[in-house]
Structure 1
C-alpha cells in the first residue's frame, strides 16, 4: 500500500475504484429490493461487501473523496438495467466485471479485496445460473431462431442476387425463404420440446403404483427394487423401503413421496417449457430475423444498393444478438458479436459467389 504522498495518478485511480464500488453497491441493492428470501439476503451481503471496499478508498482519499466521483456511462447503464430489466441480464454484466478482478494487481487495495472479488464472481455465477437455466427454453429458441433467420435469408438473397436475376425475383425468393424457414423452425421446436416433455413424463411413476403398496409381500418387498432402479444402493433402498412399508402398516396408506420421481433435477424439468410457446417464439424470431435482409427490396431498392443495405442491416443485427448472448453467458459481448458477424457474412459471401457462378453459366 502506498505510504508516500499519493500522486495525481494514484488519486484518479482510487476515485475510479470508488466509483466502481458505489455503482456495484447501488446495483446490488436495487436487485435485492426486487427479490425475496435467500436471494435478497445474498445480494444484500454483496452490497455490504462493496460498501466496505468503498470505505477503504474513502479512507485513502480522505477529503479528496468528496465530492463523490461521478458514475461513468457504463455505471449509469448498469444501474438502469438493474432497475428495469431481468435479474439474469444484470447479474451477467456484474459477473463479467468481477471476472476482471481489478484488485489482483492493485498494491493499494487491502489484502482481502482481491480475494473478495474472486469469491463475488462465483456468487454471481451461482445466482445467474438459476436465471440462465430458466432462459434456456424459449430464449434459446428465440436467439437461435433470430440468428437462423438472419443468416439463412441473407445467404439466400445474396445467392439469388449473385445470379443477376431481377429485384422482384430476389424479393419473392426472400419472402418464400422467410415463410418456409419460420414454419420449419416452429415445427421443429414444437417437436423437440414436446418430445423432451414426453421423455420426462415416461420416467415418472405410474398412477397405480402408489395404491399397490399396501398389498406388497412384506417378505419379498418389491419396493426395494423400485428404489434401486431409481439410483439408491442396496442398503439405502432396503432401509427406505422398510420405512415406507412401516408407514403403510401404521397409517393404512403410503406417504406421498413413497414412489420416487425420475432422477432428474426439478430445474431441468422447468427448463422444458411449453412446446407451443417454444414453437411460437422460434417462428416469430426466425421471421423477424429473416425479414431484415428482405426490407431493402420491400422498400424498392435493387441491385448492389439493396444487397449492400441488406448486408449492413444484418451485420448490425448479428452484432446485437451475439452481444446479448455474450453478456448473458458472462463472455465478451464484442467477441461473441464479431463471431456471429463473421459466420453470417461468411455464409453470405459463399452463396453470392455460387450465385455468380450459376449466373455466369446461364442458370440465372
Structure 2
C-alpha cells in the first residue's frame, strides 16, 4: 500500500487535488451568491466534484493504493481569499479553464483507449457557460449580474498587479545591471535605478490613466448616441431589440412582445440596448482613472525598487550580488503568483521567472561591460 506522497505517478494526486479544489471553490462561490437558484447550482456542482473525488479515491484503494482525500490546496485557498476580496467572478473564470482542461484530458484518454465519447464529458463546461452567458434560461436579470461580475475588476486587477510588478522588476533590474556593468557600481547606479523607477512608474501611470479615461469617454459617447436613437426612432430600436432576442433563440412572436415591453420604459430600454447591442458593461464606467493610474504607479515601483535597494548602502560587486539576490526573490514570488492563473507547479513557474529575469540582467550587464571598456579605451 502506498502513501499519498509516494504514489507511482503524480497524475493521481494532481487529479484528486483538482477535484477537491473544485468542490471547495464551488461551495465557497455558492456561499457568497445572493440568488438562491444560482447558489443551488454552484452547490450542486460542488457535491458532484466531491463525489468524483470520493470515487477516484475509492478506485485507487481498489487498485491497492491507499490514499485519503487531501484538504484544499494553498492555491484554492488563495483563490477563495481573492474571491472574498475582489469578487468571485475571477474564480469562476479559473474554474471554467479547469473544467475545459479536464474535458480535454478525458477526451484524449478516451481516444487513446478507443473508448466511445458519450457527450457528457463537457457537461460542467456547458453548465458554467450557461450560468455566465445564457440569460434566457435562468433568471435572466441575475445571470446578467453574474456575467458582469465575471468581467469586472477581480481577474484583471490581479493580473495587472502581477504583471505591473514584474515589468518594474525586470526592466529596472536590467537597467541597474547595465549601468553597473559599465561603471564601478557606485552612486551612478543608484541614480540610474531611481530615475528608471520614476520614469517607468510615471509612464505606466499615464498610460493606464489615458486607457481608462479614453475608454470611459468612448462608452459614454456611444451610450448618449444610443439614447438619442431611442428618442428619435423608437420603432427602429424596438425592431432592433426584437432581432437581438431572436438571435438568442427566443421565438419571433415572444421576442417582439419582449421588445415592446422593454421600450415602454425608455431608461430600461436604453440599459438593455447598451448591454446587448453595444456590448458595454456599465460597471467599467465606474472605475476611477486616477485610482488605476496610482495603482499602476505603485505596483511598478514595488517591483522596480528591489534591485535598487542594495545601492543605498553598498557599492561594487557586493551591491551587485545583493541586488541580484533581492531580484531573484522578487522574481520567484512573481512566478508563484502567476500559478494562480496557470495552475502550474510553483517551483516550475518560480524558477522559470527567475531564469528569464536573470538572463535579461546578464545580457544588459554584459553590454554594459562592453560599453564601459570601449569608453575607457
TM, length-normalised to structure 2: 0.67
Counterpart in the other structure of 1:265: 279
CA, structure 1 residues 161+211, in 2 after alignment: closer, same or farther (shift >3 Å)?
closer
Q: Aligned-pair distance for 1:312? A: 3.0
Q: Distance in 2 between matches of 1:80 and 1:137?
A: 19
Against the structure 1 CA distance between its residues 21 and 160, is the aligned structure 2 distance closer, same or farther, given a 3 Å change threshold?
A: closer
Residue aligning to 1:296: 310
Higher helix proportion: 2
Q: Please state whether the residue corresponding to 1:261 is helix, strand or coil.
A: helix
Secondary structure of the 2:287 match is coil
What RMSD in Å do the two structures reach over aligned CA positions? 5.0
Contact 1:138 1:281 in 2 (8 A): no
Distance in 2 between the 1:266 and 1:105 partners? 40
2:31 maps to 33
**Structure 2 unmatched ranges of 5 or more:** 133-145, 248-252
Which has the greater radius of gyration?
1
Aligned ranges 1:97-176 → 2 under 5 Å:
99=101, 118-120=122-124, 131=150, 133-135=152-154, 137-176=156-195
2-side partners of 1:94 and 1:229: how far apart? 32
Q: 1:183 aligns with which of 187, 202, 223?
A: 202
User: How far 1:292 sits from its partner (Å)?
Assistant: 0.6
Instruction: Measure how far apart 1:154 and its partner are.
Output: 0.5
Q: 2:297 aligns with which of 283, 289, 298?
A: 283
- 2-side partners of 1:211 and 1:9: how far apart? 69
Change (3 A) 1:224 1:176: same
- The offset of 1:139, in angstroms, is 3.7
Tell me the residue number matched to 2:266.
255
**In structure 2, how many angstroms separate the alpha carbons of the residues matched to 1:55 and 1:289?**
43
Runs of at least 5 residues in structure 1 that lack an aligned partner in the other structure? 1-7, 214-221
* Cα separation, 2, equivalents of 1:226 and 1:79: 46
After TM superposition, the score normalised by the length of structure 1 is 0.69
Correspondence for 2:81 among 78, 81, 84: 84
What SS does structure 1 have at the residue aligned with 2:266?
Answer: coil
> 3-state SS of the aligned residue for 2:224?
coil
Higher relative contact order (CA 8 A, sep 6+): 1
Structure 1 residue 162, shift from structure 2 partner: 0.5
Question: Any conservation in 2 of the 1:164–1:359 contact (CA below 8 Å)?
Answer: yes
Please tell me whether the aligned partners of residues 134 and 271 of structure 1 are also in contact (alpha carbons under 8 angstroms).
Answer: no
